């Protein structure tokens, strides 16, 4: 696929890299960008060599928001028929681990993309915010929902109603970020994390990711039932036997994704 | 670019910034804040500038805020001092401490109020024998700002920091050095040449590595030992990839003087 807005790296040790690459627009996420990400992720889902994906920007900017030029011309009917929700849905549907490497600004749609990711590695000095309210609009790609589920009502309300961003340090304290590091090492550490996950049994990783994401959708008793079903299902995989045998035989497991 | 309240020039790879409102003991007004910020922002990005020297013209280093800007008539609404701290003093202190190259301060005379704390925010502080430091805030009913309450207890200990900030005593250059507040005291007439020599010397060192050292030391006060050990690992990882490190090792092994490029 020929991408204009993103750079896609070769698959390295099971890890695919997507770099947002419109620095002149601070990596603003226009429809084209989301479509390209969705397309690449769909390919990665079908490619057994890909076991984790890292999505990042540059040192100054992860993504500073949506493309306002694109949005300003849409009226209520236009927005009602917009393809954008389906583009986000494709990213949300990706079934392998998606890791965000964040330096600089992750604002508006940029933060919503971060919230679509399973893990977040951030450089000190990164800023996370939903400034939509300052434009007379509000988050429209899961910002209000995912942020309040992840961080609680008080933090979500403050961020969404004032539009003021929080620092990477604060985001780490609040649990929005799993790992904090010096900015020059963000991409490297995100890849380290991705490689570590890529070395696990792929089917177990996918099942576990699905189980954790289901947490937002279900009651505890339903969630526990789903977890148990996935747990039982994994017993039918070859990798499960390999994993347990390798542990008991004190050797490194050789997973095959079967 | 022409500046009204400061002078600045380059000497080798040293950016020299001189506060220049001698009649007001170089106290800050908004225009001076803007000029200082513009110069520091520029030098922060400029790879040709590898050390900064900050000093003042006349008999004072800096008397903090120009109170001429702050006269409050009875009946007037109280000024919002927080606003000028937000807009000017806090960004200045952050700019000096986050500057990825060493900042030498030559304290040529009295450093009072925010002026004292701006000097202390620099990396290496050298004072003229006749210079002095005064946490003058308490005398006006104010609180030390520009990082004073954070830095002073770390520099001189809680007991001294309390007395200095609650009493507002004048501290001589020698006393300041003896209590660990500053690095060095030199005779008045030697201050500028000595400070410049030290800045020039620093400007030839591995600048990138020095910037990482600053970052480590400045982060230490907020970090636990475990966090700091991890930060040291990360910064060392970066330092080990610099050209200057290769040059340093190569020069050492070949018994020659290294020529650092600052990257």
pLDDT at B69 over 80: no
Interface test with B, best of A184, A187, A189 (most B CBs within 10 A): A184
Q: A31-49 pLDDT, tens per residue?
A: 999 999 999 999 999 999 9
Q: A160-182 pLDDT, tens per residue?
A: 999 999 999 999 999 999 999 99
What angle in degrees, to the nearest 10, is found between the helix axes of B90-98 and B207-220? 130
What is the per-residue pLDDT for B71?
Answer: 67
pLDDT interval class at B62 (50, 70, 90)? very high
Shortest alpha-carbon distance between residue A129 and chain B (Å) = 20
Interface test with A, best of B227, B238, B242 (most A CBs within 10 A): B238
Q: Count CA atoms closer than 13 A to B7's CA, side-chain side.
A: 10
State which residue of chain A sits closest to B228, comparing Cα positions.
Answer: A181
pLDDT at B1 over 70: no
Which residues in A lie closer than 8 A to residue B237 (C-beta atoms)? 185
Mean pLDDT of chain A: 95
Shortest alpha-carbon distance between residue A20 and chain B (Å) = 24
Q: B9-61 pLDDT, tens per residue?
A: 999 999 999 999 999 999 999 999 999 999 999 999 999 999 999 999 999 99
**Nearby residues of B21 by Cβ (< 8 Å), 6 or more positions away:** B5, B27, B29, B32, B66
What is the per-residue pLDDT for A1?
Answer: 65
CB contact under 8 A, B238 and A181: no
CB contact under 8 A, B231 and A185: no
Q: Count CA atoms closer than 13 A to A143's CA, side-chain side.
A: 26
Q: A78-97 pLDDT, tens per residue?
A: 888 889 999 999 999 999 99
CA angle A205–A170–A167, rounded 5-degree value = 105
**Percent of all residues in chain A with a pLDDT value above 70, rounded to a whole number:** 100
- Asked if B101 and B207 touch (Cβ cutoff 8 Å), the reply is yes
Shortest alpha-carbon distance between residue A60 and chain B (Å) = 14
pLDDT at B77 over 90: no
How far apart CA A230 and CA B241 sit, in angstroms, is 45
What is the per-residue pLDDT for B67?
Answer: 84
Restricting to A residues 161-220, those with a Cβ less than 8 Å away from any Cβ of B are: 181-182, 184-185
* Cβ-count burial B18-36 (b if 16+ within 10 Å, e if not): bbbbeebbbbbbeebbebb
CB contact under 8 A, A185 and B238: yes
Distance set, CA B254 to CA A11, B243, B249, B263 (Å): 42, 16, 9, 21
State which residue of chain B sits closest to A180, comparing Cα positions.
Answer: B231
pLDDT at B68 over 90: no
State which residue of chain A sits closest to B223, comparing Cα positions.
Answer: A169
CB contact under 8 A, A184 and B238: yes
**Is A13 at the interface with chain B, CB within 8 A?**
no
pLDDT at A8 over 70: yes
Q: A218-257 pLDDT, tens per residue?
A: 999 999 999 999 999 999 999 999 999 999 999 999 999 8
Q: B133-156 pLDDT, tens per residue?
A: 999 999 999 999 999 999 999 999
pLDDT interval class at A70 (50, 70, 90)? confident
**Is B233 at the interface with chain A, CB within 8 A?**
no
Residue in A79, A78, A76, A62 with CA at minimum distance from that of residue A27: A62
How far apart CA A225 and CA A31 sit, in angstroms, is 37
Mean pLDDT of chain B: 95
**Is B238 at the interface with chain A, CB within 8 A?**
yes
pLDDT at B258 over 90: yes
Helix or strand run (H / E) with residue B185: strand B184-186
By CB atoms closer than 10 A (0-12, 13-18, 19+), residue B168 is middle
Which residues in B lie closer than 8 A to residue A184 (C-beta atoms)? 238
pLDDT interval class at B80 (50, 70, 90)? confident
Shortest alpha-carbon distance between residue B46 and chain A (Å) = 17
For B223, which DSSP code? S
Which residues in B lie closer than 8 A to residue A182 (C-beta atoms)? 215, 231, 234-235, 238
**Is B251 at the interface with chain A, CB within 8 A?**
no
Interface contacts A/B by beta carbons within 8 Å: 10
CB contact under 8 A, A184 and B231: no
């Amino acid at each position: 696929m020929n991408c204009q807005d993103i750079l896609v790296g070769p698959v390295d040790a099971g890890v695919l890299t997507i770099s947002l690459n419109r620095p002149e627009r601070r990596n603003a996420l226009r429809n084209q960008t989301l479509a390209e990400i969705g397309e690449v992720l769909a390919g990665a889902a079908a490619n057994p060599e890909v076991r984790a994906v890292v999505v990042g920007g540059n040192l100054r900017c992860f993504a500073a928001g949506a493309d306002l030029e694109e949005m300003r011309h849409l009226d209520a009917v236009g927005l009602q028929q917009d393809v954008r929700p389906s583009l986000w849905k494709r990213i949300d549907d990706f079934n392998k681990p998606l890791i965000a490497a964040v330096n600089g600004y992750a604002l508006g749609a940029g933060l919503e993309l971060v919230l679509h990711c399973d893990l977040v590695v951030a450089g000190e000095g990164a800023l996370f915010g939903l400034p939509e309210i300052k434009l007379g609009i509000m988050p429209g790609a899961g910002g209000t929902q995912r942020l309040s589920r992840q961080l609680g009502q008080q933090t979500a309300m403050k961020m969404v109603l004032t539009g003021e961003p929080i620092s990477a340090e604060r985001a780490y304290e609040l649990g929005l970020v799993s790992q904090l590091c010096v900015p020059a090492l963000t991409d490297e550490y995100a890849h380290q994390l991705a490689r570590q996950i890529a070395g696990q049994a792929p089917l177990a990783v996918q099942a576990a990711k699905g189980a954790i994401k289901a947490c937002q959708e279900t009651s505890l008793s339903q969630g526990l039932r789903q977890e148990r079903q996935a747990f039982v299902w994994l017993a039918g995989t070859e990798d499960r036997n390999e994993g347990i045998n390798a542990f008991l035989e004190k050797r490194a497991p050789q997973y095959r994704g079967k | 670019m022409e500046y009204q309240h400061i002078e600045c020039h380059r000497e080798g790879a040293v950016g020299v910034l001189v506060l220049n409102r001698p009649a007001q003991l170089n106290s800050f007004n908004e225009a001076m804040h803007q000029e200082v910020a513009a110069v520091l922002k520029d030098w922060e990005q400029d790879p040709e500038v590898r050390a900064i020297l900050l000093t003042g013209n006349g008999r004072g280093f800096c008397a903090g805020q120009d109170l001429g800007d702050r006269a409050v008539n009875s009946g007037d609404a109280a000024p919002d001092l927080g606003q000028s701290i937000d807009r000017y003093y806090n960004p200045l202190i952050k700019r000096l401490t986050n500057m990825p190259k060493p900042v030498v301060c030559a304290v040529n005379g009295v450093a009072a109020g925010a002026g004292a704390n701006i000097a202390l925010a620099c990396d290496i502080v050298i004072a003229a024998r006749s210079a002095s430091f005064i946490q003058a805030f308490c005398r006006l009913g104010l609180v030390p700002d520009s990082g004073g309450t954070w830095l002073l207890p770390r520099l001189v200990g809680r007991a001294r920091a309390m007395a200095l900030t609650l009493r507002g005593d004048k501290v001589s250059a020698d006393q300041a050095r003896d209590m660990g507040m500053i690095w060095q005291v030199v005779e008045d007439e030697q201050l500028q040449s000595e400070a410049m020599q030290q800045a020039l010397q620093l400007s030839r060192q591995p600048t990138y590595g020095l910037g990482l050292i600053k970052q480590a030391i400045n982060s230490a006060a907020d970090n636990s030992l475990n966090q700091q050990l991890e930060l040291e690992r990360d910064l060392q990882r970066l330092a080990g990839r610099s050209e200057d490190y290769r040059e340093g090792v190569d020069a050492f092994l070949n018994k020659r003087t290294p020529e650092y490029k600052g990257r």
